[in-house]
Amino acid sequence: MLLCTVVGLLAAAPLALAAKLEKVADFGANPTKINMYIHVPDKLATKPAIVVAMHPCGGSGTSFYSSTRLPSYADSNGFILIYPDTPNMSRCWDVQNAATLTHNGGGDASAIVSMVKYTLNKYSGDAERVYIMGSSSGAMMTNALAGSYPDVFEAGAAFSGIAFGCASGQGQATPMAANQTCAQGNIRRSPKEWGDLVRNAYPGYTGKRPRLQIYHGLADTLVRPACAMQALQQWSNVFGLDWSKNVTGVPSSAYTQVVYGDGTKLEGFFGQGVGHTAPVNEQLMLKFFGILK
């Protein structure tokens, strides 16, 4: 009799809902009071990888969740997605602040690292496979986190961003800020000076650095393609890699792939006729991360 009831209840239960985006209230130290959203697939891999996906200015965790195909890749490959969300500064990340540009300095960067630690702990994630990506302001934050927290992230992908530290000292890094010197590609530094900004973010650090992909549209007038070249010069200096080749038509006819060293640590993609922002290429990015074979 009891068994029948149980079977009846099970049969009447609705089909399990597919994993969706959930808000997480208490994830740890959060000095700038930003928000955390998470997507945990129903079929989680053992020791799952984690990808942190950062929205552009004016965006949100929820809007960025529905603007790429990353959630379906997470579902089929069992990795976790974290969507940080900032209500501050016209919903742009604080990439101009010393706090975020300093290891353990606070700012949005330290809040995002709290989200990563919370997720690693709660879902027994793989600390060796934590990745960052973002679009526009989120791409700027990708470069910022790669510089300030090289110990946390294995690789990253920046779609239409700026070099680490490019916007520092000139007010807010938003399209509304009076000073657009950085976004217009007009900060002049040598590759070594760009590299020094990264090295000085975490003095004495000698461990691995996040591998990076830098994507940019050549028709971008809001954040000029020179900003992506500066990021590539910066990271090539940090890695000690030479610009080895240009490959036209990769990943598609409008693009040129610029390769540093053997391309496993640093590469860029510049799209002819592509404006702001360069579209997220989930497959190319996840292959570079090593999540897709």
The verdict on 245 binding ligand NAG (CB under 6 A) reads yes
The verdict on 88 binding ligand NAG (CB under 6 A) reads yes
Maximum distance among all Cα pairs of the chain, rounded to whole angstroms: 79
Nearer to ligand NAG, 239 or 243 (CB): 243
Residue 290 amino acid letter? G
| Shortest separation between residue 173's beta carbon and ligand NAG, angstroms | 11
The verdict on 8 binding ligand NAG (CB under 6 A) reads no
The verdict on 169 binding ligand NAG (CB under 6 A) reads yes
Nearer to ligand NAG, 65 or 260 (CB): 260
Contact pattern for ligand NAG over residues 45 through 64, marking x by CB under 6 A: --------------------
The verdict on 170 binding ligand NAG (CB under 6 A) reads yes
Q: Quick one: which segment of 21-29, 133-141, 238-246, 267-275 binds ligand NAG (CB under 6 A)?
A: 238-246
Helix axes 70-77 and 282-289, enclosed angle (nearest 10): 40
Nearer to ligand NAG, 63 or 77 (CB): 63
Report CA dihedral (264, 156, 146, 154) to the nearest 10 degrees.
-70
Percent helix, strand, coil in the chain, to 5, is 30, 20, 50
Strands 21-24 and 80-85: unpaired
Give the Cα separation of 106 and 209 in Å (integer): 20
Nearer to ligand NAG, 124 or 272 (CB): 272
The verdict on 124 binding ligand NAG (CB under 6 A) reads no
Residue of 114, 135, 136, 137 marked active site: 136
Q: How far is CA 270 from CA 72, 214, 246, in A?
A: 26, 8, 10
Nearer to ligand NAG, 77 or 256 (CB): 256
The verdict on 32 binding ligand NAG (CB under 6 A) reads yes
Q: Of residues 181-200, which lie at the interface with ligand NAG (CB under 6 A)?
A: 181, 187
* 124 is an active site residue: no
Give the Cα separation of 97 and 156 in Å (integer): 20
The verdict on 243 binding ligand NAG (CB under 6 A) reads yes
The verdict on 179 binding ligand NAG (CB under 6 A) reads yes
Peptide bond into 203 cis (omega under 30): no
Residues 6+ apart with CB under 8 A from 11: none
Give the Cα separation of 107 and 117 in Å (integer): 16
Give the Cα separation of 262 and 288 in Å (integer): 13
Q: Quick one: which segment of 42-50, 112-120, 199-207, 243-251 binds ligand NAG (CB under 6 A)?
A: 243-251
Residues lying near ligand NAG in the complex (CB under 6 A): 32-33, 87-88, 169-170, 179, 181, 187, 243-246
Q: Which residues are catalytic?
A: 136
